[in-house]
Amino acid sequence: MTAAREGADGAVGSRSALATGTAYPSTEHGEVSLPSPVPERMRLLEVGPRDGLQNVDATIDTALKIDLINALLPLGFDRIEAVSFVHPHAVPLMADAEAVMAGIDRRLGPTRIVGLVPNDRGVRRALDAGVDELNFVLSATESQDRWNLNRSLAGSIVLLESALSMAVAAGVPMRVTISTAFGCPFEGYVPPERVLDLARRCAELGAAEICLGDTTGMANPRQVYSLFQRMAESVPRVRRAVHLHNTRGTGPANLLAAMQAGVDVFDASLGGLGGCPFAPGATGNVCTEDMVHMLHAMGVRTGVDLVALLDVARAFEGRLGVPLPGQLLRAGPILDGLTPRNDYDAR
C-alpha cells in the first residue's frame, strides 16, 4: 500500500490517508454514525482476473492476464482470484490457468492467490499450480447448478465433500460460494431456508469461508441484510462473504446492507468487468474502485491504494480492448474534498 504523501506545508496530497483507506473522517464537523455499525476494515477479494475476464467476448492473451495480476499485486488486496481450474471446453478463456499461475511474480506483494474449482479434478490442478486458497462454487437452485455445472445440487455436495477433504489434507483453506443465493434466473425466488441449509452443510464439511453470491444482480438490501443476519445465527463460527453484481444498480446498497449485518469480506472486479457466462443476465460485478472509493469515504479501511488502482484500471481498459463500466473512471475521486485537511490522520 502506498503511504500518504505530504507537501512542504504538511498538507496531504493526492495520495491522502483517506484515499488509501488509512484514516477516518472526523465526527466533529456534523457527521453522524450509520443506523447500524459497520466493520472498520473490509477485506477484499479482487475477482477481475477470473470472474471479470472469463466473460469477455474476446481472446485474452496469457501474458496480458499475467500482467494484470502482477499490476494488482502491489496495491494492497488481501486476495486475488487469479484463475479458474474448470474444463477448458467449459470456459476456454481459463484454459491457461497453469501458465498464468506460473507467471505470477509473488515478490510484488503478499496478496494471497485464489483459484476457483468446480470439482476434485480442479482441486488437484489448483494445488499443483500452487494456489494459496481455493474457491468451490455451487448453486442454490437445481436449475442453475445444472446449467452452470452440469450436475444436480446433490451431486455438487458430494463433490464438495471430496474437494474439502483434499483441501484440508493439503492445508489449503477453501471457501465455498453459493451462487444465485438471492434469486435465480431460471427459478426466480430462492427460499432463504434452502440457502441456510446449504451454508450449514458447507460449514459441517469444513469450509473456511462461505460466500453468498448475487449472481445476476437480483438482490435487494433488505433481503441481503436479513439473510446474512440469519446466516450468522446458523453458522456462527465461519467467516461470511458476499459476491455482488451491479446488474440493476443495487450493488453498493447491497454491500452496505451486508456490512450492517456484520459481513467484512466482499468480492469486486476491476472496472466492474465481467459476469458469469452460465447465468443469463449476469452482467457487471460490482466495481472494485467504485466500492473502495465509497468505503474510504465512509472511513472504512480496505488497505487498497485507490490512486494506483485507478491507474491500473485506466491502463488495462485500453489493453483489454473492452469498455469498463466503473463510474469512478469517468467521474474521478472526490475523497480529498470530503474532510478538512487538518483532520487527516496520515499514518
Residue ranges of domains in the chain, CATH in brackets: 43-343 (3.20.20.70)
Q: How confident is the model at residue 76, as a pLDDT? A: 98
Strand-pair partners of 24: none
Q: Rounded to two decimals, what is the model's pTM?
A: 0.88
Q: How confident is the model at residue 11, as a pLDDT? A: 31
Q: Which of 202, 211, 276, 287 is catalytic?
A: 276
Distance separating alpha carbons of residues 3 and 272, to the nearest angstrom: 26
Which residues does the chain have with pLDDT short of 50? Answer: 1-14, 18, 23-29, 340-347
Distance separating alpha carbons of residues 250 and 339, to the nearest angstrom: 26
Q: How confident is the model at residue 194, as a pLDDT? A: 96
Nearest to 153 by CA among 161, 141, 164, 165: 141
Q: How confident is the model at residue 36, as a pLDDT? A: 78
Q: In Å, what is the CA distance from 278 to each residue of 95, 284, 330?
A: 16, 14, 29
Residue 320, Cβ neighbours under 10 Å: how many? Answer: 21
pLDDT digit string, tens, across residues 276-301: 655 555 568 999 999 999 999 999 99
Q: How confident is the model at residue 31, as a pLDDT? A: 56
Distance separating alpha carbons of residues 168 and 137, to the nearest angstrom: 17
239-244 vs 265-268, strand pairing mode? parallel
Distance separating alpha carbons of residues 76 and 132, to the nearest angstrom: 16
| 287 noted as active-site residue | no
Q: How confident is the model at residue 58, as a pLDDT? A: 81
